[in-house]
Homo-oligomer: A and B are copies of this chain.
């Protein structure tokens, strides 16, 4: 099958593993390192597609598990695919539903054939398998599909981690065999928890299968950050250098910087949008909980150094009022601010790599941003 995407590393930082790349997809290019905002239910929460694009998103992620349950793949097929259904004409990466089945669904039963589970929406019984997750993603028509994996929890025993990793490899083969579309890229997911030999075995086995790119799964699931960084240190070099590397579920500013330094090209995370809806924003000096009483009559912007719409136009006091009064405009504005913050960070990261000052940029950023 010809590759649906083309990935080129355009610059390799000589000091770190950080690199600049361009990922060409059927729906346009993505400059990497890139952050993918999450459109779980065929919408990046609170935002129109135009707003998402204007903030700097070049690719978004959407969730197979959620869309399969509601509104169902059949409707999205009728609508002409996910891009048309949701009005986003840029690239889309869909996850496989593997992670959601393990983290959201109830009463799951994992067998070699697949996973039987109950919907978190209405309790109805469903079944997902490598073949079915692949077929659904083909119907969704994402630019990049992910293999159906078993994600081990943290902490988990070596035996548990090995079993999940080995099953993930077997399922990855079945996913590839189930593919029928040539215009959709397919990424494998490296598992193995925090065990180095398992990560090595996983990367090697999936590497043989020649995926279009590789996700690193099973991280950011509760382990200390230092452990995550250590896993990245030894896992990233195991991935073929010419393939995109995607650190799944990571999106805090410090983790983005540490991931980029270790050679990650793609990230996704609900964090920026989720904390926004709880009234928490990123600023150049760290997190700020704007719903707190201390901002009740603070007539300064969320971040005086920010030039996003929310900061140009509104005060902390107004945003706090909106959030306390459950006004939707409040969480629209904090969402805009946080996504602007993350996309600006990614842009600054790419510029710093290009100008051979990534490490310096990272240190200066983290010094100010004391989480």
Chain A residues close to B by CB (< 8 Å) = 41-43, 45-49, 70-71, 75, 78-79, 85-87, 296-297, 299, 309, 313-315, 317-318, 320-322, 324-325, 327-332
Contacts and interface: CB of A to CB of B under 8 A. Distances in A.
B71 A321 contact: yes
A321 B70 CA distance: 7
Nearest to A74: B297
B48 A297 contact: no
A45 B79 contact: no
Contacts of A315: 79, 85
A52 to B, nearest CB: 10
- Cβ-closest 7 pairs across A and B: A71-B321, A46-B328, A43-B329, A41-B325, A87-B313, A43-B327, A75-B297
B299 A79 contact: yes
B47 A329 contact: yes
B47 A318 contact: no
B42 A318 contact: yes
A139 to B, nearest CB: 14
Given A75-B297, A299-B78, A299-B79, A321 B42 contact: yes
Contacts of A48: 309, 329, 332
11 contacts: A41-B327, A45-B329, A46-B329, A46-B332, A48-B329, A71-B296, A75-B321, A78-B299, A328-B328, A328-B331, A332-B332
Contacts of A331: 328
Contacts of A78: 297, 299, 317
A70 B190 CA distance: 51
A208 to B, nearest CB: 40
A47 B330 CA distance: 10
A322 B39 CA distance: 12
Given A41-B325, A41-B327, A42-B321, 8 more contacts: A41-B321, A46-B328, A70-B324, A71-B317, A71-B324, A78-B297, A87-B313, A328-B331
A142 to B, nearest CB: 17
A43 B297 contact: no
Nearest to A41: B325
A165 to B, nearest CB: 33
Given A71-B321, A79-B315, A299-B78, A328 B45 contact: yes
A75 B317 contact: yes
Contacts of A87: 313-314, 318
B318 A86 contact: yes
Contact of A332 (B85, B86, B328): B328
Contact of A45 (B299, B309, B327): B327
A48 B322 CA distance: 12
Contacts of A86: 318
A70 B42 CA distance: 34
A248 B285 CA distance: 47
A72 to B, nearest CB: 9
Contacts of A299: 78-79
A318 B41 contact: no
A297 B74 CA distance: 9
Contact of A325 (B70, B318, B320, B324): B70
Contacts of A85: 315, 317-318
Contacts of A297: 75, 78
A74 to B, nearest CB: 8
A275 to B, nearest CB: 16
A49 B332 CA distance: 13
